[in-house]
């Protein structure tokens, strides 16, 4: 391997840090400017043979070794590097006159791919907890009668005016035949959908206490709710479901990382926050404090017992969807590969934790897939079909949003089983 290739391969630990900036943005907007150019060669100068050598080098390092590398620095942090911190949006301003949570109107509409001009509604909600106006993207059910609510959370780069669930997942088209209200809070920028210690960011309270009441008031709901997400939102969704079992009946999580206490989990969270201009200690205090431990879902999953629990991950093998997604952008491809390696290993560990606790769940490990929207979405239908029975309080026909004659309410879906790791995405 040439000197340049050795430098590129050696930079994979740094690529893990850079990978944490890849949230709901498309790969073309994956914040590649945050990479320190002194540590990498120009990917556009690589030939196919060179590229394959780098991939072999990356693939030869198990994620456990990556965790060991991070752990070997002790209490020190992986350096962010000059120019690695950037601002990716400004929250709505604090308004101290907000003393009550209230619905303030529909700001605008967005069409779906079928041309329904009002498929997406953009609600403005005044939050007492945050003393801000929050934009919430809502896709009301097109079915008849009462419907459950599915709250979907964005990745780390969550924009303020819409969510990746609209412009990446086309969620209105995806769920057009389902009797379910889809509710997506916008503008969560590396917030982890949590209450911060030293900042006026209280999305955890907004999601679990304020928003459900507004949704129930505005929509015909059946009293059931699920929560889901991708990447950062996947981690948050699983934690919210585990800590608020009175709010959520089901959870589906795509490519999440469920540990905050080990070295890799800590750096995942820290870099996600600090590459976007935040201070991670403002969120949960110093690492290994009580708040960090509370958010370590893998160590205390008991709140998930009796819920419909689904999660999935790619296996960091490059597939046709990944080639199409990244094209010749080898740099972003390597970033997506390294990050999904961590997700895959952590999902395996989470599966074992749930097995030890005797908590029923379903997990899909796809045959291929890096950390990107095509990989997140390839198991969406599998997740939805699994959690659906828990949201209707009875039997549900597979592939529909209406009660049917198959299955049983207590089974939480006929496809789910303890530790169903043999299943794959399709």
Listing DSSP states for 270-327 in one string gives HHHHHTTT--THHHH-STTSHHHHHT-GGG--GGGTTSEEEEEE--S---HHHHHHHT
Bridge partner list, 254: 230, 312
- Three-state DSSP at 177 gives coil
- pTM comes to 0.80
Which pLDDT belongs to residue 89? 54
Separation between Cα atoms, residue 322 and residue 331, nearest integer Å: 13
Dist CA 356 CA 419 (whole Å)? 10
What is the pLDDT, as a whole number, of residue 53?
A: 52
Position 77 scores a pLDDT of 52
Which of 363, 348, 351, 368 shows the shortest CA–CA distance to 416? 363
The label of the residue with tokens 């095509």 reads 374
Per-position pLDDT tens, the chain of length 426: 444 444 444 444 444 444 444 433 333 333 333 333 333 334 444 455 554 554 454 444 444 444 444 444 333 454 443 333 333 456 788 999 999 999 999 999 999 999 999 999 999 999 999 999 999 999 999 998 999 999 999 998 888 889 999 999 999 999 999 999 999 999 998 899 999 998 778 999 999 999 999 999 999 999 999 999 999 999 999 999 999 999 999 999 999 999 999 888 898 899 888 888 889 999 999 999 999 999 999 999 999 999 999 999 999 999 999 999 998 888 888 888 888 998 999 999 999 999 999 999 999 999 999 999 999 999 999 999 999 999 998 654 434 444 332 222 223 332 333 333 333 333
- Sign of the C-alpha dihedral, residues 10, 11, 14, 18? negative
pLDDT score of 400: 44
Measure the CA angle with vertex 338, ends 334 and 344; round to 5°.
Answer: 140
pLDDT value, residue 181: 98
**Do residues 335 and 278 touch, judged by C-beta distance below 8 A?**
no
In a 13 Å sphere around the CA of 184, the CA atoms on its Cβ side amount to: 32
**Coil vs helix vs strand at 248:** coil
Strand partners, 424: none
Report residue 125 as tokens.
């909600």
């Amino acid at each position: 391997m040439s000197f340049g290739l050795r430098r590129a391969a050696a930079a994979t630990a740094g690529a893990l840090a850079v990978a944490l900036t890849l949230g709901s943005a498309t790969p073309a907007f994956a914040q590649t400017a945050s990479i320190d150019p002194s540590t990498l060669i120009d990917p556009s100068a690589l030939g196919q043979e060179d590229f394959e050598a780098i991939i072999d080098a990356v693939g030869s390092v198990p994620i456990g070794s990556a965790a060991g590398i991070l752990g070997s620095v002790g209490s020190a942090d992986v350096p962010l590097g000059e120019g690695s911190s950037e601002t990716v949006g400004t929250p709505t301003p604090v308004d101290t006159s907000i003393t009550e949570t209230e619905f303030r109107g529909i700001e605008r509409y967005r069409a779906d791919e079928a041309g329904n001009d009002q498929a997406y509604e953009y609600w403005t909600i005044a939050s007492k907890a945050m003393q801000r106006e929050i934009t919430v993207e809502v896709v009301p059910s097109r079915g008849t009668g009462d419907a459950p609510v599915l709250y979907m959370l964005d990745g780390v780069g969550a924009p303020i005016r819409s969510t990746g669930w609209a412009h990446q997942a086309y969620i209105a088209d995806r769920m057009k035949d389902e009797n379910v209200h889809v509710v997506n809070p916008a503008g969560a920028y590396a917030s982890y959908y949590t209450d911060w210690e030293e900042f006026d960011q209280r999305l955890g309270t907004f999601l679990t206490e304020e928003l459900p009441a507004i949704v129930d008031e505005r929509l015909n709901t059946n009293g059931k709710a699920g929560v889901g997400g991708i990447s950062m939102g996947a981690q948050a969704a699983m934690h919210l479901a585990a800590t608020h079992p009175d709010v959520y009946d089901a959870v589906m999580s795509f490519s999440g990382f469920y540990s905050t206490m080990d070295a890799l989990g800590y750096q995942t969270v820290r870099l996600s926050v600090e590459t976007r201009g935040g201070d991670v200690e403002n969120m949960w205090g110093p690492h290994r404090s009580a708040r960090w431990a509370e958010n370590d879902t893998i160590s205390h999953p008991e709140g998930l017992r009796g819920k419909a629990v689904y999660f999935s991950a790619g296996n960091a093998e490059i597939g046709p969807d990944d080639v199409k997604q990244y094209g010749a952008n080898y740099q972003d491809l390597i970033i997506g590969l390294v990050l999904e390696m961590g997700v895959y290993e952590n999902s395996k560990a989470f599966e074992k934790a749930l097995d030890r606790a005797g908590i029923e769940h379903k997990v899909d490990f796809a045959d291929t897939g890096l950390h990107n929207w095509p990989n997140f979405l390839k198991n969406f239908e599998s997740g939805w079909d699994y959690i659906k029975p828990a949201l209707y309080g009875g039997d549900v026909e597979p592939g529909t949003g209406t009660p049917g004659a198959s299955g049983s309410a207590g089974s939480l879906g006929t496809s789910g089983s303890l530790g169903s790791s043999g299943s794959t995405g399709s």
